[in-house]
Chain A
Amino acid sequence: MTEKALKLKSVFLRKQILKYIYSAKAGHTGGSLSCIDILNVLYNSVLNVDPNDFKNSTRDRYIQSKGHCVEALFVTLADRGFFPESALETLCRYQSHYIGHPTRKINGVEQNTGALGHGLSISVGEAIAAKLDQKSHRIFTLLGDGELAEGSNWEAFLSASHYKLDNLYAILDYNKQQITGNNSEVMNMNSIKDKLESFGWAVREIDGHNLIQLETNLNSGSFRKGKPNFVIAHTIKGKGVSYMEGNLKWHHGVPSPDQYALALNELNEAEALI
C-alpha cells in the first residue's frame, strides 16, 4: 500500500473502532486507538495471511496479547475480508462470538486472549515450532505497557532469547498509560529498552503512529541474527480524537452522541488533509 492509502486506511479504521464501540455501548477505546496504526500496517503491509485460507500453516502469526483492544483487531480483520463487517453489529450481543476479547471462534484470530501476560509465551511456543519445522513465517505479538508488569512476560523474554527466536517480533504499544494512571505512577518500567537489551533482545524504538516507520521496521527482517526482535512503538492513548488523547477516562469508555459526532468530525477533517 502507498503511504497515502495507509494513512486513509488508518483514519477509516479509527472511525470503524468508534462506530462499533458506540453501537455495542462498550469497548476499550483509548488503547484501540493507540494501536490501530500498528494493526493497519501489520495487516495491510506486513503479514502474510490470507482471509480465505487463514489456517494455512505457512501464514505469519499475529497474537494480540493486549486482548482488551479487540475492537482494533476486529475492524482490521473485517476490512481485510476475514468476515463480513455486518458481523460486528453483533459485537458484545447475546450469543455472538464477537465478544469483548479475541476468540478463535472468529476467522483470523490466532489465540484467545484477554487475561494480560499470556500472548508472549504462546508466541514463543509458535516461534520455537517454526524453527523446529524450519518454516520461515514470522510471529508478531502486541503487548501493552501496563501489561509488562505481569511476570510471565519476563519469563517469556528469557526463553525467547535463550532459544534465539529471531523469527519473533514483540511490539510494545507504548502509550505510557494504563487504567489507574500513567505507568510511571502505577509501576515504573524505566527503562524498557535497557531491560530488554539486557534480556538479549534486539530493540528498536519508533513512532508508533508513523506508518512508514512501522512498515520499514516490521518488514526489515530480523534486527540481529539470533536475537528476538522488540519494537518500542511510542504511541498516544486515544490517538486521533483530541478529547481522548492522553485522557485516562477513555481507557474504556463509550462516547455520548455529541462526543461521537465531534470525534467523527475530527477524523473527517484529518482525512481531508491526507
Chain B
Amino acid sequence: MGVDKIDLKKIKNGKANQIVFSETLEKLASKDRDIIVVTSDSRGSGKLVSFGENYPQQIVEVGIAEQNLVGVAAGLASAGKKTFAISPACFLTARALEQIKNDVCYSDNPVILVGISAGVSYGALGTTHHSLHDFAALRAFNNIIIVAPADNFETEQVVRLAATSKKPIYMRYGKKQMPLLNENNTSFELGKGRVISEGQDLTIIANGETVYPAYLATKKLEIEKGLKVTVVSMHTIKPLDTALIKKLASNGKPILTVEEHMVNGGLGEACASYLMQNGFTNPFKIMGIPDEYTVTGSQIEIFNHYGLSEEGIYNACIALNDRQNNTN
C-alpha cells in the first residue's frame, strides 16, 4: 500500500463530499420510505433540492429554526423513521446543542445529524458561520458517534452505515472537491481509522478536509527529506480508534494531528488524552485553528494562514522530526 498508488489526477474526478452525501441519500431513499430528511431552509446548501423534488413525502421543512429541526428529528426518529437532520454545522451544533444533548443523545433517539459546510468552509462569512467547536462540544456528550469523512468514498460509507444506525450520529463535511485518497483500502468501519499511506518515521492523524494536504505533505517529505510517513484518516473521532493509535505510537516516533477545528477539545486532544494516559511520550503536536479571533478570508486562506496546508504540515513534520532527533 505505497503512497504512489494514489492517482493524483483523481482530484479532478473528486466531488465535494456534500454532493456525494445527497446522491447517496437519494439512492437510499428511493428504496426506503422510512428515510426522512429534515431541513431548516437548508436544502439548497445541503444539495437536497433534487431530493425534495423526487421525494416530497420524505422531506420535512421547518424553516430557519435549528432547535425545532433537531427536536422534530428526534420525534421522527423516536417514531421509527431513519431521520437525517441537515443544517450548516455551525448552527446545528451551536444553536441546537441542547436539543442534541437531551432529545437525541440522552433520550437515545438515533437521529443522524448532518453538519454541512463545516469547519471554515464558509470562509469570509466569518465566525458566526464557522464550526470550530463541534467536535469538542459533542465529544462531551455520551451516546453519539462523531464522524468527519475525508473523501467521497468515506462519505458514501458513512451515509450508508448511518441509515442503519441504532445510535445517534453526527457527521460533518465541507464544500471542497475531495480526491479519492486510497483506492486500495476500501474497507470502512465507523470507529476504525483508515490508513492512507504507511511509513516508519512519523505518523499524521488527520480528518475531514485536512487529510488531503497532509497526504500531499508526506509525498514531499519522502521525495525531499527521505522521510516515510504514515497518514491516517481518523474519520471517527468518537469512539476513537485507540487500538490503531496504540499500534502507531508504539515505535516511539513523532505524531502530528491535523484537523479543521479549534485546537481545543478536538481530534488532537482526544489522541493526546489516550497517549498520555497510556504512557506514550512520542513527540506530539496538534495542528488546528488556534484559540484566537480567527483570521478572515476564504477557507484556503485560513488554512494557509494557520499552516493547515501542504507546506505548513510539511514544516510541522520536519520540526517534529528534529525534536525526535534532538531527544535521541
Q: Which of B41, B64, B301 contacts A94 (CB 8 A)?
A: B301
0/1 interface trace, chain B 120-144, chain A, CB 8 Å (1 if under): 0001111111000000000000000
0/1 interface trace, chain B 48-83, chain A, CB 8 Å (1 if under): 000000000000011111111000000000000000
User: Given known contacts A93-B297, A179-B41, is B128 in contact with A117 (CB within 8 Å)?
Assistant: no
**Which residues from A are CB-within-8-Å of B63?**
146, 149, 178, 186-187
A151 within 8 A of B: yes
Q: Smallest CB-CB separation from A97: which chain B residue?
A: B296
Bound CA span A95–B294, Å:
10
User: When the two chains form their complex, are residues B126 and A149 in contact, meaning their CB atoms are under 8 A apart?
Assistant: no
User: When the two chains form their complex, are residues A146 and B64 in contact, meaning their CB atoms are under 8 A apart?
Assistant: yes
Q: Which of B44, B66, B94, B125 contacts A180 (CB 8 A)?
A: B44
**Min CB distance, B112 to chain A, in Å?**
21
A116 within 8 A of B: yes
User: Given known contacts A94-B301, A178-B41, A180-B41, is B124 in contact with A99 (CB within 8 Å)?
Assistant: yes
For chain B residues 26-53, which have a beta carbon within 8 Å of chain A? 39, 41-45
User: When the two chains form their complex, are residues B124 and A186 in contact, meaning their CB atoms are under 8 A apart?
Assistant: no
B264 within 8 A of A: no
Q: Which of A94, A101, A151 contacts B65 (CB 8 A)?
A: A151
Categorize the interface residue count of chain A.
20 to 34
User: When the two chains form their complex, are residues B296 and A96 in contact, meaning their CB atoms are under 8 A apart?
Assistant: yes
A108 within 8 A of B: no
**Which residues from B are CB-within-8-Å of A101?**
125-126, 128-129
Instruction: Report whether over half of chain A's contact residues are helix, strand or loop; otherwise say mixed.
Output: loop
B5 within 8 A of A: no
**Which residues from B are CB-within-8-Å of A180?**
39, 41-44, 61
A100 within 8 A of B: yes
A26 within 8 A of B: yes
User: Given known contacts A180-B44, A187-B65, is B297 in contact with A95 (CB within 8 Å)?
Assistant: yes
**Min CB distance, A115 to chain B, in Å?**
5
User: When the two chains form their complex, are residues B128 and A150 in contact, meaning their CB atoms are under 8 A apart?
Assistant: no
**Which residues from A are CB-within-8-Å of B42?**
179-180
0/1 interface trace, chain B 95-112, chain A, CB 8 Å (1 if under): 100000000000000000
A92 within 8 A of B: yes
Given contacts A26-B124, A101-B128, A151-B65, 4 further A-B contacts (CB under 8 A): A92-B124, A100-B129, A146-B64, A187-B64
Which B residues form the contact surface with A (CB < 8 A)? 39, 41-45, 61-68, 90-91, 94-95, 123-129, 295-298, 301, 305
Which A residues form the contact surface with B (CB < 8 A)? 26, 67, 92-97, 99-101, 103, 112-117, 146-147, 149-151, 178-180, 186-187
Those 8 A-B pairs whose CB atoms lie nearest each other, nearest first: A187-B63, A114-B128, A149-B63, A94-B297, A92-B124, A100-B125, A99-B126, A149-B65
